[in-house]
Amino acid sequence: MDGFSYHNIFETKGMEYLAIIAFFLLLIPFWIILNRRVKTGRQKWKSPEILTADSLQIPQGLFFSRYHTWAHLEKSGVAKIGLDDLLLRITGEVKFSRFVNSGEKIRKGDFLAEMIQKDKILKIYSPISGEIVEANPMLKDSPELINQDPYIKGWMYKIKPVSWVADTNSYFLAEDATSWSVKELERFKDFLAASIGKYSPDSSLVVLQDGGELCDHPLSEFPKEVWQDFQHDFLSKKVACRKIRCVRKSDKTHEV
């Protein structure tokens, strides 16, 4: 045919082109595998999260007590109670023991349960008075729920309150709860600074990020002596009763 010419690809640079195409076809699977490994490595070496006021979960419809517990009165008249996000971000993953039995009557400030992390223990006290309806059964088998979802699935008890208004009138709600949590985080930093110097001077490298920000779960790096001080100096009933009148009965302090 006029105007038509035939070239044998193998007599020109066709072999080079085929070699380049084959190279890229072989390269693609290796690139995919390598990229997956890089992503996995990044996730594995992901920097610890930082504990700041902006990172705290503070629902605006709950009553927050100075014991770092919260309470919410449901339509049924039964109140759910649990631990606030700040306390859980400070301690890290914990288990629970010594739950109070259903049917028991308790007063505000009475013992509810123990938080346990290895050989370290914190006692949790009730934010309200009333009758125990039930303890959250899921926490015994899945204690991580309280860290993952402290306000929904991770509640601790249902209590039928007997003096809801009186018990919660000194608690923090909405914007007041946010402001109080920010101040509590600063108070914890002061406590931690004293503990680092007292017990574990080397732990400052672990609990502090660049710029002096706290890593998540800073208390988990400290020995049980620091937890005991945290119980007494940060969660103590004396702190809870500051600026309000207290009465002592059978070695238990209650707000009134």
Residue 171's pLDDT band, with cuts at 50, 70 and 90, is very high
Burial letters for 33-72: b for 16+ Cβ neighbours within 10 Å, e otherwise?
A: eeeeeeeeeeeeeeeeeebeeeebebbeebbbbbbbbbbe
- Kindly state the average pLDDT of the residues 2-11: 54
| Residue 162 clears pLDDT 70, i.e. is over it | yes
In words, the CATH class of domain 48-256 is mainly beta
- Kindly state the average pLDDT of the residues 30-35: 57
Q: What is the pLDDT of residues 81-126, one digit of tens each?
A: 999 999 999 999 999 998 999 999 999 999 999 999 989 999 999 9
Amino acid letter at 53? A
How far apart, in whole angstroms, are the C-alpha atoms of residue 46 and residue 252? Answer: 45
Domain range list for the chain: 9-44, 48-256
